């Protein structure tokens, strides 16, 4: 399996619902390093997994909708506890939407998987992997 990973970051504010989160139930900020990994079994006719520039642009665009925002104020996330795990799925799903829209080129339609990893720190991160 071949893979290409692109990286960006986002800064958000949010609060988490549930006693398990202790002080994180209050509004707080988080800065995530975001890795998006694209996988395929065979390289496309150009010898690539996905165009790195297009993948970087798509990731930046997806993150722009979340960056510098209080996620508690986003009506589309009203029923989502915006944990690191949930946000990694959200970013992966939005990248898949970009693939279906053709934003990553025709070759990206043949990807086997997308994995998004959000790194909260150098010791803690969460990932979500899906088919495009």
* pLDDT digit string, tens, across residues 58-79: 999 999 999 999 999 999 999 9
112 DSSP assignment? S
pLDDT by residue for the chain (132 residues), tens only, comes to: 999 999 999 999 999 999 999 999 999 999 999 999 999 999 999 999 999 999 999 999 999 999 999 999 999 999 999 999 999 999 999 999 999 999 999 889 999 999 999 999 999 999 999 999
Q: What is the pTM of this model?
A: 0.96
pLDDT in the model for residue 41:
96
Contacts of 132 (CB under 8 A, 6+ apart): 95, 96, 99, 100, 108, 109, 111, 113, 114
* Class level of CATH domain 2-17+24-130: alpha beta
What are the structural domain ranges in the chain?
Answer: 2-17+24-130
């Amino acid at each position: 399996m071949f893979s290409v990973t692109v990286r960006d970051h986002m800064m958000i504010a949010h609060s988490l619902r549930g006693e398990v989160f202790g002080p994180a139930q209050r509004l707080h900020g988080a800065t995530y390093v975001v890795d998006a990994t694209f996988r395929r079994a065979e390289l496309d006719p150009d010898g690539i997994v996905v165009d790195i520039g297009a993948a970087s642009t798509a990731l930046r665009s997806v993150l722009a909708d979340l960056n510098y925002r209080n996620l508690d104020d986003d009506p589309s996330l009203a029923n989502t506890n915006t944990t690191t795990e949930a946000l990694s799925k959200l970013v992966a799903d939005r990248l898949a939407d970009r693939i279906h829209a053709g934003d990553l080129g025709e070759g990206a339609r043949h990807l086997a998987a997308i994995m998004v990893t959000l790194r909260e720190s150098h010791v803690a991160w969460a990932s979500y992997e899906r088919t495009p």
